[in-house]
Amino acid sequence: QVHVVESGGGLVQAGGSLRLSCAASGNIFSFRDMAWYRQGPGQQREMVATITGGGSTHYANSVKGRFTISRDDPKNTVYLQMNSLKPEDTSVYYCNVEIRPTSSSRIYFSHWGQGTQVTVSS
């Protein structure tokens, strides 16, 4: 069993910064891709940033140059540093991690956290 928990959300003024963390625990042998998504009210969930096992990153156009995704595999954690926040960044942010549970497993399973609210005031 795997638990994924996001933290670091909150209320911030436009132009401010927040750092989100996502920690995984449980049956974990290794990670593959990690990612952050967000979902605003009445909107579909959208990809914000991804990072591969090799460290390659990809960002949504709307956050390029402002957000930075990073990972610390020994700590089972992925981060999202968000700078120059805008009101349109207001959403619930979710992390997704791909986990290989044991050394004998050939499959990576996708796990989601419960989300953390980010609210940016104008």
Residue 45 in this model has a pLDDT that exceeds 90: yes
Give residue 8's pLDDT: 98
Token pair of 37 as six digits: 């998504």
Rounded to whole angstroms, what are the CA distances from 56 to 23, 49, 64, 94, 113?
20, 11, 14, 20, 22
Query: What is the tens place of the pLDDT at every residue in 23-43?
Result: 999 999 999 999 999 999 899
Give residue 41's pLDDT: 87
Contact call for residues 115 and 7 (beta carbons, < 8 A): no
Give residue 116's pLDDT: 98
Residue 5 in this model has a pLDDT that exceeds 90: yes
For 88, list phi and psi in degrees, rounded to 5. Answer: -70, -5
Query: What is the tens place of the pLDDT at every residue in 69-121?
Result: 999 999 999 999 999 999 999 999 999 999 999 999 999 999 999 999 999 99
Rounded to whole angstroms, what are the CA distances from 66 to 37, 60, 70?
15, 11, 13
Token pair of 75 as six digits: 């700590």
Q: What is the mean pLDDT of residues 40-49?
A: 95
Compute CA 13 distance to the chain's CA centroid, rounded to the nearest angstrom: 21
Q: Could you write out the three-class secondary structure of 59-96?
A: ECCCCCCCEEEEEEHHHCEEEEEECCCCHHHCEEEEEE
Q: Angle CA(10)–CA(62)–CA(59) in degrees, nearest 5?
A: 90
